[in-house]
Structure 1
């Protein structure tokens, strides 16, 4: 019988890895249809698990498996989103004359920026993301975006401001990372 204040025994990360790594890799392989991607994401999932102090131990194997499945599912969605952005970028490049193509380094930088913007838009409420996209990428006026979204031009301005703030926060984080030499 447990006493008040006592915590349930937890399963160590080493045990979770030993008992669930092959299962997770197989689950990811079925989900992704690619053994190499599955192995990479399984590795990344356990790396995240080790780096996140709050999840170092689980009360049961079912809890560990549920946590891993939820985390890995999110990682799959992120992978698919990044690949969708990459495909769109490559389609854009293919439509341009070769002599106007940016250098490989510049292409990589643009793709990274596109992925960050995509992730930022996913963090915003759907209408705010759509308003920001219509104003920034499609260059619609506040009134045109408002008509498209069925909201007021004033609300469009607020949504665009929220998107711009997130862009500025991303830029500030990148600047700080560059100053501190982290990636």
Structure 2
């Protein structure tokens, strides 16, 4: 199969026509679920469509497998997060449990936060989570990270700013 030189909507359509069935089968072998494989194959092509830069594709299957592996990793991470969230909800007494709509909104927000925090550098993410979830002081975080309190403050502000950007983008 000849290489596809750059990805434009037309080239992407050609790539889709030529490789979608192969990609869906590749994902099915990893998931053993045809519906999830179909969804993630679509997500893979949507990710490519959302890119703003031309892509050089010399080996289409290898290229798609690499992109799909990232989509698959995100899928597994979301599943793990959703499972933990549902387990936490199950521990709540029924009279204080949020409505189904609120549960869905909270889960969507949690997924979006996970995505935003996942893009941060590890020390920035750790500083933010330790301060917000574990209640550690700036000094304790600085000690754990082997850095200064000033740096920890900067990390927390940086992560918080990303969360604010996320909030401003939500309807």
TM-score, structure 2 length as denominator? 0.85
| Alignment-derived partner of residue 144 in structure 1 | 140
| Alignment-derived partner of residue 131 in structure 2 | 135
TM-score, structure 1 length as denominator? 0.80
Segments of 5+ residues of structure 1 without an aligned counterpart are 1-7, 179-183
The superposition leaves residues 22-45 of structure 1 with CA deviations (integer Å, 9 ceiling, x where unpaired) of 110111111223221101111222
Matches within 5 A, 1:103-182: 103-174=99-170, 178=171
Contact 2:57/2:63, CA 8 A, preserved across alignment:
no
Matches of 1:118 and 1:59 in 2, distance apart? 30
Matches within 5 A, 1:63-74: 64-74=60-70
Seen in structure 2, the aligned counterparts of structure 1 residues 169 and 14 have a Cα distance that, compared at 3 Å, is closer
Segments of 5+ residues of structure 2 without an aligned counterpart are none
Computing the radius of gyration from Cα coordinates, the structure with the larger value is 1
Greater relative CO (CA pairs within 8 A, separation 6+): 2
The farther-off stretch of 123-132 and 153-162 is 153-162
Count of aligned positions:
165
Seen in structure 2, the aligned counterparts of structure 1 residues 49 and 161 have a Cα distance that, compared at 3 Å, is closer
The farther-off stretch of 73-82 and 147-156 is 147-156
